[in-house]
Amino acid sequence: MNFKASASLTAMALATSLAASSASAQTLLATSPYTDISRYTDTGAYIVNAAAPGLGGNNATINQSGNSNVASSDVTLGAFRSGNVTSQAQAGTANISTVTANGNSNTLVTSQNGNGNTSTVTANGSSNALLTNQLGDNNTFNVTVNGNGNTYSGIQSGNGNTYTITTPNGTSNNSYSSNQTGQNLSYSITQTASNQSVSVTQTGIGRK
């Protein structure tokens, strides 16, 4: 997962309002120190919602190189949260990464190297570690975890692959991993129990 990022943003600012830069299509919080973003080569958008250190100690980092990439990070849902870390890396064109942490001490990481990939990662709970890595084009990750102490690591290599994982409220201490290598592969899982381990590997060409 090596990325040569031409733009780096680390935001630790209380989200109050959004301001659009006239220099490009990128969007930042008005409270962010990065109000002049014309130097960034990417023409996508940054949307960061991270509580200041004194109000939650959350950290959001975005690295982008390419065109029309969009990264969104929100770690302040509900009451003040603490200890959440999000990291999003995008290299290519028209990738979309959305990470949301509603809890404490979650780690959410997305990496996209290609074009037209979408990764949506949501943690409703605490102490979850969720990581996705997309290498190719038009791949989709949908990861939603409701509970505490869950881990997930997913890789998509190829084009047009889709992976969806959902855990209902209260499912905790589960370990998930997936590896999709090929084209037009699809997998969906709903985990309803706790203390489980699930590993999925898919290769080949699926039906579109």
Q: In this structure, how many other beta carbons lie within 10 angstroms of the beta carbon of residue 71?
A: 28
pTM, entire model: 0.76
Q: Please give the pLDDT value at position 82.
A: 81
Sequence spans of domains, the chain: 7-193
Strand pairing report for 7-11 and 59-67: antiparallel
Contacts of 43 (CB under 8 A, 6+ apart): 24, 25, 26, 67, 68
Q: Please give the pLDDT value at position 83.
A: 87
Q: Please give the pLDDT value at position 77.
A: 57
pLDDT digits (tens, 9 = 90+) for 36-65: 333 333 434 444 444 444 445 788 888 888
Q: Please state the three-class secondary structure of the chain as a single string.
A: CCCCCCEEEEECCCCCCEEECCCCCCEEECCCCCCCCCCCCCCCEEEEECCCHHHCCCEEEEEEEEECCEEEEECCCCCCCCCCEEEEEEEEECCEEEEEEECCCCEEEEEEEEECCEEEEEEECCCCEEEEEEEEECCEEEEEEECCCCEEEEEEEEECCEEEEEECCCCCCCEEEEEEEEECCEEEEECCCCCCEEEEEEEEECCC
Q: Please give the pLDDT value at position 184.
A: 97
Q: Please give the pLDDT value at position 208.
A: 56
Q: Please give the pLDDT value at position 10.
A: 30
Q: Please give the pLDDT value at position 119.
A: 97
Q: Which residues of the chain have pLDDT under 50?
A: 1-55
Q: Please give the pLDDT value at position 79.
A: 59
